[in-house]
Amino acid sequence: MRYSQLFTFTVKEVPSEAQSASHRLLLRGGYVHQVAAGLFSYLPLARRVMNKIENILHKEMESIGGQEVTMPVVLPADLWKETGRWYQIGSELTRLKDRKDHDMVLAMTHEEALGDLARRVISSYRQLPALVYHIQTKFRDDARPRAGLIRVREFTMKDSYSLDTSWEGLDKQYRAHYQSYFNIFNYCGIDALAVKSDTGMMGGSIAHEFMYLTPVGEDTIMICDGCGYHSNRQIAEFRKDALPTEALAELEKVETPNCKTIADLADFLKIPAEKTAKAVFIWATIQNGDNTEEDKLVVAILRGDMDLNETKLTNVIKAKEMRPAVDEEIKACGGVPGYASPRGMKNALVVVDDLIPESANMVAGANEEGYHYINMNYGRDYSAHVITDIAAAKEGDLCPDCGAPMKAEKAVEVGNIFKLGTKYSDAMGCTFQDQNGEQKPVIMGSYGIGVGRLLSCVVEENNDDHGIIWPISIAPYQVHLTLLYDKKDPTVEERAEKLYEELQAAGIEVLFDDRSESPGVKFADADLIGIPVRLTVSKRSLAEDSIECKLRRDSDRTMLPYGEGVVKVKAIVEGLKNELGERVHSVEYKE
């Protein structure tokens, strides 16, 4: 491809909307154009990168027995009503009507479509196990798109779905994906960590997320260097040490002026934060068993030195949507913002962290402006609808397995795998006839990788002050050939053109910068775009009958004999490929 004909543009200024290195560099390098929040056009350079990522996905899925299908983006709502997710998922799911007034959805995932397909294809155990996959557009109306391609509303995903007759079969396909995902990320030049995760709206029994550690990530991973425990903070456990046992003291109301926060309260009463009971008020839309919905104030109580884990709370109350409650909603149930507790409140769902019943004589709100109770005790002074673990792990909390302090790392989820079991097959009547003639539900697994998000994480990992540094496996081109014109010597252009043709004939992917720009502009654009190998043909290099060669990741330049240029470059490209291949290795599966 000649740069002069490339449908792209580069910009010098850092876009004001860019929130991460990848966002900034992909916009500046002419890879993407932002149409609206969370919506992007992919220009030719980005499309070539995505094609190469997708080729890696195809190769890996087919290596474990995957067969490619394509399922629609627009789906009838009836499928989602069968599984109940039409009612369970909030505004992230885009609902619409077709011209015949039928309810439809824009697919944010394809379990329902796959279930409908499988129940029409699968009838006998002889057709199982099976693995199908597709690479398809999806839409999730995310309220907070951010960081360029890391969190968007429209995106491309590789989904694969395993179908089995037994749980042992599911386990085998699950573990095959576990290994295959590590292969994919290594081929793309990034390290990933597999952690246990919340099954969320997908459901099922077990899930793992593949995390790329980066400061721009929104997920937090709890990691223990002592024993290797790691988990998404959403479900992470930690050792909770109860306070020393005390005899229950008499409940007493005390004046606590201007103490609306735990910090202010603890400072005023000269007590540690762990002697207080924190009340967090959430307004939740709760999904009932009959698919009806109910809006309710939820009062979450936990020790003052701990934070609420909203994922744990969401799961236990089966919330469709949650948000912080406003003052009027708290007051309507008898609470006083800043001085509230569940004592005396009405029409609220009370959820208590499992450490609270073991904590005697706590300080909690009195539901009166400027007052708190001291010696508040669960069971005697108030009760709860649910007692469970709702506390979030944090830096320094003790590992649940070995007791060592854990660290917290930010991360981006680049892939996920789920053991769905029979959740969807039960709901949709997806069955097979076994060897004894009995009808059994198909046992399913679901496995996803976001293509654009993976691309963006590769850029986060591989860049410097000048631009992107692409791994050879997914670079838009392998070689960036730069011609430095010499108006007095037309042979410079002729020999550059000849080299361009010879490189292409040898099967090397080349971006040929044939523009009439200055050397400074051309080199700056080459660094920004980030193609792994840069060749420069100039009057100076040809004076030595050579081509200047520079790897994007290195500062050193070497001179290659012009007559051996193609052979030398081909060897360099193969060497870079081999380096990535050496990253791929067997990994131990960790439940």
Q: What was the pLDDT predicted at 119?
A: 96
- pLDDT at 385 > cutoff 70: yes
Predicted TM-score of the model (pTM): 0.88
Secondary structure (DSSP) of 72-103: -SEEEHHHHHHHTHHHH--TTS-EEE-TT--E
Distances (CA, A) of 276 to 72, 305, 354, 364, 502: 53, 8, 15, 6, 75
Written as one string, the DSSP assignment of 464-481 is ETTEE---TTT-S-SEEE
Q: Which of these, 319, 383, 563, 217, lies nearest to 308 by C-alpha position?
A: 319
| Token pair belonging to 148 | 């360029």
pLDDT beyond 90 at 486: no
Of 213, 274, 198, 226, the closest CA to residue 408 belongs to 213
Q: Domains in the chain and their CATH numbers? A: 46-221+408-460 (3.30.930.10), 252-389 (3.90.960.10), 470-581 (3.40.50.800)
Cβ contact 183:191 at 8 Å:
no
pLDDT given at position 14: 75
Cα gap 19→478, rounded to integer Å? 28
pLDDT at site 198: 74
Structure confidence at residue 200 (pLDDT):
67
Rounded (10°) CA dihedral 149, 153, 156, 158 = 100
**pLDDT tens across 139-165, in order?**
999 988 989 999 999 999 999 999 999
Listed residue (528, 562, 506) closest to 459, CA to CA: 528
Tell me how far CA of residue 167 lies from CA of 30, 171, 443, in angstroms: 47, 6, 7
Burial track 434-447 (b if 16+ CB lie within 10 A, e otherwise): eeeeeeebbbbbbb
Q: What is the pLDDT of residue 251?
A: 95
Closest CA to 455 of 2, 29, 70: 29
Model confidence pLDDT, tens digit, residues 108-146? 999 999 999 999 999 999 999 999 999 999 999 998 898
Question: If you count them, how many residues does the chain have?
Answer: 591
The partner residues of 548 in beta bridges, in order of sequence, read 536, 559
d(CA 543, CA 101): 73
State whether residue 483 is helix, strand or coil.
strand
Q: What are phi and psi of 274, to 5 degrees?
A: -70, -10
Residue 493: pLDDT above 90?
yes
Angle (nearest 5°) at CA 534 between 530 and 538 = 135
Integer Cα distance of 9 and 43 in angstroms? 10
Buried b (16+ CB within 10 A) or exposed e, 204-239: bebbbbbbbbbebbebbbbbbeeeebbbbbbbbbbe
Does the structure show a pLDDT above 90 at 415?
Answer: yes
Q: pLDDT digits over 505-532, tens only?
A: 999 999 999 999 999 999 999 999 999 9
- How far from each other are the two terminal CA atoms of the chain, in whole angstroms? 47
Q: pLDDT tens for residues 561-582?
A: 999 999 999 999 999 999 999 9
Lowest mean pLDDT among 70-74, 239-243, 398-402: 239-243
Contact 305, 273 (CB under 8 A): yes
- 197-206, 351-360, 411-420, 463-472: segment of lowest average pLDDT: 197-206
Q: Which residues contact 345 (CB under 8 A, 6 or more apart)?
A: 299, 333, 334, 335, 367
Residue 57, pLDDT score: 98
Region 380-392 average pLDDT: 94
Yes or no: say if 157 and 184 are a contact pair by the CB < 8 Å rule: no
pLDDT reported for residue 310: 93
70 burial class (0-12, 13-18, 19+ CB within 10 angstroms)?
A: exposed
Question: Is the pLDDT reported for residue 13 higher than 90?
Answer: no
Burial class (CB in 10 A: 0-12, 13-18, 19+), 368: middle
What pLDDT is recorded for position 204? 67
Q: Is the Cβ–Cβ distance between 277 and 362 less than 8 Å?
A: yes
- Looking at the predicted structure, is the pLDDT value of residue 62 above 80? yes
The identity of residue 61, as a single letter, is M
CA distance 231 to 221: 6
Mean pLDDT score, 271-289: 91
Listed range (196-200, 295-299, 399-403, 405-409) with the worst mean pLDDT: 196-200
Which tens digits make up the pLDDT trace of 195-241? 988 776 666 678 899 999 999 998 999 999 989 898 999 889 999 98
- The bridge status of strand 206-213 relative to strand 193-196 is antiparallel
Average confidence (pLDDT) over 248-271: 94
| Amino acid letter for position 405 | P
**Whole-number Cα distances in Å, 360 to 267, 276, 355:** 20, 10, 10
Q: What pLDDT, on the 0 to 100 scale, is given for residue 202?
A: 64
% of the chain at pLDDT higher than 90: 87
